[in-house]
Amino acid sequence: MGELTPINAARPKVLEFFAGIGLARMGLESAGFRVAWANDYEPDKKAMYDAQFRHSDDHSFALGDIGKVKVADLPRDASLAWASSPCTDLSLAGGRAGLAGAQSGTFWHFIRLLKELEDDRPEVVVLENVVGLATSHGGDDLTAAIRAFNELGYSVDVLAVDARRFVPQSRPRLFLVGAQNPPEDIAEPNSELRPDWLQWVYGDKSLRTHRAALPAPPAPKLTGLGDEVEEMGLDDERWWDRDRTEAFVGSLSLAQRERVATLRRETGVKYRTAYRRTRNGVAVWEVRADDISGCLRTARGGSSKQAVVRLGNKRLQVRWMTPREYARLMGAGDYDLSTARTNQALFGFGDAVAVPAVGWLAEHYLMPIIKGSMARAGRTEQVASVK
């Protein structure tokens, strides 16, 4: 027999920046990639990451501020660099300080490290963030991010993908895909992945962009939350007591209260999610009308956590959503939670990217670019890389 190539050696290598608890890794590796290096600055997230993936000799994790990562720390033969940079300063909740913000500004350290890799820069880069990046500072932040990639020799595609296409959770996210050897630019009218509010990117002639020909993503789910809810007895102590449940109902608007009352009277059991909002300076509960979860968020205080409402057969019960339910709604139902505290897990999942969304992008876009199976753009469109 001839020499055998180790399985890992044949899998394109990935650098995973802002790795969190590793959900991007799960999605990428499901499509055939191998994450060889990762970093994050939060010990609690690394602890969950370690519990899930265990130690291996072909992977290293740099815990700490990305500003202190040196290019010498990075593997030099990676095909893909993935960055789920902090969205705090780019979301409505974060005051929209933009890429100059204290946390989201860490994006520029990602760019610094790519630049310092010089000729060893990965062929493909991905920046994942909230859709607020598209409008932050009137679009200037998205323009700045694209231009930064352009200056490193990458053409950029911008996609909007909602995790609801894969799991029963509304979780829209923006994905910037940069390619040194981009696929052919194919304009697609009425694109599901590049909606009208993103089209200005491709009309800006000062930016180098492309639109890869991709299959249609799955249609958004209309149901499925009930399938992800953990089974627990009606007398489980996690259900709220009578006083707390009555206070919950009392905070609902009249329309919401009527909707809940109708579902409560119906035969059979249905589940809904509820979240607190501030209306006219008062914290109130709102219950979703559909069988879909609202966007999971980091559990900084009770207002960002979601509750599960059980309705039907003349009963109404409420409790906080569990870590396992968070995991399932992120497409990571088998995630190892054996060592995680409740709030640690809720924070980790609420600050992550949905596994199947990453897996779909990796399978239909990232891997084909790297394997050379997408039609390439003409050489005349190439720009010189910055050294």
Q: Which residues are catalytic?
A: 87
| Torsion over CA: 223, 273, 240, 256 (sign) | negative
Burial class (CB in 10 A: 0-12, 13-18, 19+), 223: exposed
Which runs of consecutive H residues, i.e. helices, occur in the chain? 23-30, 43-53, 107-117, 140-151, 199-203, 225-228, 242-251, 254-265, 323-329, 342-350, 355-361, 367-371
Q: Record the tokens describing residue 157, joined without a space.
A: 């595609």
Are residues 208 and 158 in contact, defined by beta-carbon separation less than 8 angstroms?
A: no
Left, alpha or beta for 17 (phi > 0: left; psi -120 to 50: alpha)?
beta
Are residues 111 and 148 in contact, defined by beta-carbon separation less than 8 angstroms?
A: yes
Are residues 287 and 259 in contact, defined by beta-carbon separation less than 8 angstroms?
A: yes
Please give the Cα distance from 159 to 193 (Å, whole number): 5
Computed over its alpha carbons, how large is the radius of gyration of the chain?
A: 22
